[in-house]
Amino acid sequence: MEKNRSTFSGKLGFVLAAAGSAVGLGNIWRFPYLAAKYGGGIFLLVYILLVLTFGFSLVVAEIAIGRKTGLSAVGAFNKLCKKFTFLGYFVTVIPVIILSYYSVIGGWVIKYVSVYLLGETQAAATGGYFGSFISGSAQPLIFFAIFFALTALVVLLGVQKGIERVSKIMMPVLIALSAFIAIYGCTIDGAWEGVIYYLKPDISNFSVMTVISAMGQLFYSLSIAMGIMITYGSYMKKDINIESAVHQIEIFDTGIAFLAGLMVIPAVFALSGPENLGKGPGLMFETLPMIFAQMKGGRIIGGVFFLLVFFAAITSSISLMEAVVSVFEDKFGWSRKTSCFAVLVIVAAFGIPSALGYGVLGNFTLLGMDFLSFLDFLTNSVMMPIAAILTCIFICYVIKPKTIYEEVESSGKFRSKKLFTVMLYSAPALLLVILVYSILEAFKIIQV
Ligand code: TRP
């Protein structure tokens, strides 16, 4: 464990690596459907405010903990305070669960690459196409297996460097193409209403669910409250300014999510009608094919787009899996192969019911949610808030904020120290309220 850590070459290297893990399906698939469902402009506003305050503070804290200890989550908490080792283990469980349903959605992305390869551009734009795909038995399972197998293969062979290099070239292309699709989508007749819905905060669309879902999305998208940023911090050189690195990661991550919303939401208004805003996880897969079907060269653009999304997704799933495998290796002394196999077993156990939850297992629901939505709820709305509460308490009352200040200040001035401190002390109460609300809501005890 105490072997010499390799470090990122410099600030740019660090920011790109952390952004590579942060930018994924969360930005392109999850953000637009949540924004569409939970209030449009008001969701966007709440989300941005939370990123700049709470998200900022938690990312700084995690990176500082990692850099100070030079260890990943389990080791880091253990080194700072033995009693909190359990928190290290707790946050490590989260990426495993996420990986299993992430791979299901990653499978959907591969399916849509194949749609455009096979030239089913028009068919994919019809209403029932996506629904009949996910309610089947064979296809969702096959594509889920392909996505996970590719992820596992990369981790097993230890070739992520190569993949990451490719994806660094792909990422700017993805951004440019998304911008193009967004502009195209916004100019379709009837899209303007959607642009306004997405950009103009309307307080009458606000609900407690706006805050709950924005908070969950923030954890998910920035990869926080699951030990990932601690690990990244442990690879960060001592002379890099943590604060400005975090700002850059946030701008990157939020910028891409923003663009994805602009790509999907106006098109919903123009092509399928605002009554479809609440569609949920399938939104992107139903809306974008409609745009591609209208475009000249839509088959090629659609195919390239989903291929790029696939790259963004697989870099994230690789880093999810890598996080878990390295804990297994470090803590249980297992070989890489054994660790990968253990991850495979867990991912199959959670992923198979997730993949089948819209078809043969359609009647099997937990708290009224299909299995995939349930896992998403469990991690984002329950486990991550708990992890974040405990992390804040750990910093405020066990190691004291001073420890973080010192680490941040070792590489420059800590400009937002006040904001950071206020956030850290006030977050647990806020998070607790959110946690209780979302659980009560899930159990249908209250309606928010
Ligand atoms: N942030 C990633 C996304 O937006 C998803 C994710 C969550 C992730 N936790 C992670 C990626 C851990 C890598 C490592 O898609």
- CB 87 near ligand 1, within 6 Å: no
CA 351 to ligand 1 centroid distance, Å: 17
Mean pLDDT of the chain: 93
Query: Residue 55 and residue 47: Cα distance in Å, rounded?
Result: 10
- Residue 7: pLDDT over 80: no
- Residue 2: pLDDT over 50: no
Considering 17-21, 41-45, 67-71, the range whose residues carry the highest mean pLDDT is: 41-45
Ligand 1 atom nearest the C-alpha of 253 is 4
- Residue 1: pLDDT over 50: no
| CB-CB contact of 355 with 147 (8 Å) | no
Q: What is the pLDDT, as a whole number, of residue 6? A: 66
Q: How confident is the model at residue 4 (pLDDT cuts 50, 70, 90)?
A: low
Q: What is the pLDDT, as a whole number, of residue 53? A: 97
| CB-CB contact of 287 with 264 (8 Å) | yes
Directed axis angle between helix 336-356 and helix 298-332, to 10°?
130
- CB 113 near ligand 1, within 6 Å: no
| CB-CB contact of 141 with 355 (8 Å) | yes
Environment class of residue 31 by beta-carbon count within 10 Å: exposed (0-12), middle (13-18) or buried (19+)?
buried
Ligand 1 atom nearest the C-alpha of 94 is 9
Kindly list the distances between the CA atom of residue 379 and the CA atoms of 301, 435, 442, in Å, as whole numbers in the listed order. 34, 12, 13
Question: Two tokens at 61?
Answer: 């804290």
Ligand 1 atom nearest the C-alpha of 220 is 7
- CB 92 near ligand 1, within 6 Å: no
- CB 26 near ligand 1, within 6 Å: yes
pLDDT in tens, 154-192: 999 887 777 777 777 888 899 999 999 999 999 999 999
- CB 221 near ligand 1, within 6 Å: yes
Task: List, in order, residues 6 or more apart from 413 with CB less than 8 Å away.
Answer: none
Q: Of the residues 47, 58, 316, which should be mutated to test ligand 1's pocket, given the most ligand atoms within 8 Å of the CB?
A: 316
Q: How confident is the model at residue 205 (pLDDT cuts 50, 70, 90)?
A: very high
In the beta sheet, which residues pair with residue 366?
369
pLDDT in tens, 287-328: 999 999 999 999 999 999 999 999 999 989 998 998 888 888
- Residue 200: pLDDT over 80: yes
Q: Is the dihedral of CA 371, 376, 379, 380 positive or negative?
A: negative
Q: Of the residues 92, 99, 223, 284, which should be mutated to test ligand 1's pocket, given the most ligand atoms within 8 Å of the CB?
A: 223
Directed axis angle between helix 56-69 and helix 417-442, to 10°?
110
- Residue 394: pLDDT over 80: yes
CA 26 to ligand 1 centroid distance, Å: 7
What DSSP letter does each residue of 226-282 carry, written as one string? Answer: SSHHHHHHHTS-TTS-HHHHHHHHHHHHHHHHHHHHHHHHHHIIIII-GGGGGG-TT
CA 271 to ligand 1 centroid distance, Å: 30
Query: Residue 311 and residue 255: Cα distance in Å, rounded?
Result: 18
What's the first-to-final CA gap in the chain, in angstroms?
46
| CB-CB contact of 323 with 315 (8 Å) | no
CB < 8 Å & 24+ apart, contacts of 419-426? 419/53, 419/56, 419/57, 420/56, 420/57, 420/60, 420/61, 423/53, 423/54, 423/56, 423/57, 423/58, 424/57, 424/61, 424/392, 424/395, 424/396, 425/392, 425/396
Query: Residue 251 and residue 245: Cα distance in Å, rounded?
Result: 10
The predicted model gives 357-363 an average pLDDT of 93
CA 21 to ligand 1 centroid distance, Å: 6
To which residue do tokens 């992820």 refer? 151
Q: Of the residues 25, 31, 96, 220, which should be mutated to test ligand 1's pocket, given the most ligand atoms within 8 Å of the CB?
A: 220
- CB 226 near ligand 1, within 6 Å: yes
pLDDT in tens, 217-231: 999 999 999 989 998
pLDDT in tens, 49-67: 999 999 999 999 999 999 9
Q: For atom 10 of ligand 1, which residue has the closest CA?
A: 223
| CB-CB contact of 147 with 107 (8 Å) | yes
| 3-state per-residue secondary structure call for 29-61 | HHHHHHHHHCCCHHHHHHHHHHHHHHHHHHHHH
Query: Residue 400 and residue 421: Cα distance in Å, rounded?
Result: 10
CA 220 to ligand 1 centroid distance, Å: 6
- CB 223 near ligand 1, within 6 Å: yes
- Residue 75: pLDDT over 50: yes
Directed axis angle between helix 400-409 and helix 242-267, to 10°?
90
Q: Of the residues 97, 222, 228, which should be mutated to test ligand 1's pocket, given the most ligand atoms within 8 Å of the CB?
A: 228
Residues 402-429, buried b or exposed e (16+ Cβ, 10 A)?
ebbeebbeebeebebbeebbebbeebbe
Q: What is the pLDDT, as a whole number, of residue 287? A: 96
Ligand 1 atom nearest the C-alpha of 23 is 4
The predicted model gives 207-212 an average pLDDT of 94
Percent of the chain with pLDDT over 90: 83
